[in-house]
């Protein structure tokens, strides 16, 4: 496959569009109405009458990441240290109960021949989060996609999130958070690079690293 052309500034844009089926808000509204009625929720009051439509639009939005261009630049200065974006907001929906989980992602990479526009790290997280998900898969998908598309020397992703399916139902463990990580390339194979990434990814990992 031919590489995308660069512009005059050496930028190489890659158009990214999330593939999914067609959205039918009319059908979604009817299904939401039937779902609520089946659960014994009356929709007769003025405040609830439009809830099925609002519910359909809300889930349509949660399942719709924005298309974007993954803009990369030549690494002319030969920068070879870790680039890390911390506390990227994560909003997704658990695929088992369709309840939201929210938190933050810390995404880093060791540049190779090209570097990435920093805002695009957040866009990649959104691209994989805006669909029914499990946190483990989401973490792996972000890391794997960046490794494939950017060809860096290494990629690291840590996601910390609170799952409403765990805090509002079942065990009802309010305040519990789930932490997942995925490493690629040098950040996986080299102990020093791995330790540096976890030391910078957040207080939790700094404490664990210093205690070893």
Residues classed as catalytic: 94-97, 135, 163, 165
Strand residue runs (E) in 71-131: 72-74, 83-94, 100-110, 114-116
Question: ∠ CA 80-81-84 to the nearest 5 degrees?
Answer: 130
How big is the chain by its Cα radius of gyration, in Å? 20
Write down the H helix ranges in the chain: 25-38, 46-49, 51-62, 119-129, 135-150, 164-167, 186-189, 191-200, 203-211
């Amino acid at each position: 496959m031919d590489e995308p052309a660069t512009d005059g500034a050496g930028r190489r844009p890659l158009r990214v569009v999330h593939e999914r089926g067609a959205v039918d808000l009319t059908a979604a509204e009817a299904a939401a109405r039937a779902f609520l009625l089946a659960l014994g929720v009356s929709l007769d009051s003025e405040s609830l009458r439009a809830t099925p439509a609002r519910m359909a639009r809300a889930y349509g939005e949660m399942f719709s990441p924005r298309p974007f261009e993954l803009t990369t630049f030549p690494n002319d200065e030969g920068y070879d240290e870790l680039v890390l974006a911390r506390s990227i907001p994560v909003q997704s929906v658990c695929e088992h109960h369709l309840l939201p989980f929210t938190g933050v992602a810390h995404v880093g990479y060791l540049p190779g021949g090209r570097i990435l526009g920093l805002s695009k790290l957040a866009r990649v997280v959104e691209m994989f989060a805006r669909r029914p998900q499990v946190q483990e898969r989401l973490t792996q998908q972000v890391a794997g996609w960046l490794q494939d598309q950017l060809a860096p020397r290494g990629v690291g992703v840590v996601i910390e999130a609170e799952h409403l399916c765990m805090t509002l139902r079942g065990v009802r463990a309010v305040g519990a958070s789930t932490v997942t990580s995925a490493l690629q390339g040098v950040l996986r194979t080299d102990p020093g690079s791995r330790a540096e990434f976890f030391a910078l990814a957040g207080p939790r990992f700094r404490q664990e690293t210093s205690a070893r």
